[in-house]
Amino acid sequence: MFPLQRNRRLRTNESIRSLVRETSLSPQDFMLPMFVAEGKDVKVAIPSMPGIYRHSLDNTIKEVKEAWDLGIKAVNIYVKVSDSLKDNKGVEAWNKDGLMQQTIRAIKDAVPEMIVMPDVALDPYSIYGHDGIIENGQLINDATVDALTRMSLSHAQAGADFVAPSDMMDGRVLAIRKALEENGHHNVGIMSYSAKYASAFYGPFRDALDSAPVDSQNIPKDKKTYQMDYANRIEGIREALLDVEEGADIVMVKPGIAYLDIVREIKDTVHVPVAVYQVSGEYAMVKAAAERGWLDHDKIMIEQLYCIKRAGASIISTYFAKEAALLLNK
């Protein structure tokens, strides 16, 4: 039969395509991950992440102001800790005068309305490069949760809007929520890395923070005993549901593009915002292919971000945040 419905009528030109477009994308959807280093006027390139740098605090503030002017409303903070401050228990992580705590205070002083979400995990502070405390060659859960709770409280006291536990320890959201409540931080939220997979996409990030697991016979060589098996789907949903039950305000899926099926299922299951982390390896692949002329950088960047948003992301943590915001603002 001659078609009564011609779907191409709604694709005739950009005006009609934009009018019926199901998904929108704006700088307000982005969170900018930032790497902070000790020193002054420091800007160290990360070779595996072209265009991304470790900045000292003074330059970090300049970057935050620039991001705010572009319409980006949130930053996710990671710090490069000196080897001399690392140990097995991560004690530097809750130092009230530590680099992370200084950074939180400085950002909130400079741009008070910027949402600051510091990372909560021990790997930048660990001599072993793991997200928790190692005993007898194993990462122990409950002592790590105690350390993460102290770390989260120090972030809240410094002025963080949300704490962002990325460690994947069991029960840490509940412990952190209780501690925040008991200490009067009722309005400090938790963005939990709920479905964080043991992924090979994290390599460049570990270059940025020098936080890869150490290669030692007595230490786990990977993070598969706490990060999730990438073959699993239902487990990710269960993790998100548990975190919401324990008090998470936002749940996160990490990595991004390769895990959009998980994003959609979690979005359809929970009733809190879902964040997605487009991680360092995903960023680096686009940069590398574009540098070789194999892909159109800007088109791929925007397409991937739209796909993440379409899958159900309320927040996209992405190293493309500033570049994408510049493009979208045009």
The catalytic residues are 196, 254
Q: Which of 309, 221, 305 is nearest to 263 (CA)?
A: 309
Question: What is the rounded distance in angstroms from the CA atom of residue 76 to the CA atom of residue 18?
Answer: 31
Q: What is the spatial distance between Cα 44 and Cα 56, in angstroms, rounded to a whole number?
A: 9
Return the bridge partners of 314, or none: none
Cα–Cα–Cα angle for 264, 270, 273, rounded to 5 degrees: 80
- β-bridge pairing 43-45 and 53-56: antiparallel
Q: SS3 for the chain, per residue?
A: CCCCCCHHHHHCCHHHHHHHCCCCCCHHHEEEEEEEECCCCCEEECCCCCCCEEEEHHHHHHHHHHHHHCCCCEEEEEECCCHHHCECCCHHHHCCCCHHHHHHHHHHHHCCCCEEEEEECCHHHECCCCCCEEECCEEEHHHHHHHHHHHHHHHHHHCCCEEEECCCCCCHHHHHHHHHHHCCCCCCEEEEEEEEECCHHHHHHHHHHCCCCCCCCCCCCCCCCCCECCCCCHHHHHHHHHHHHHCCCEEEEECCHHHHHHHHHHHHHCCCCEEEEECHHHHHHHHHHHHCCCCCHHHHHHHHHHHHHHHCCCEEEECCHHHHHHHHHC
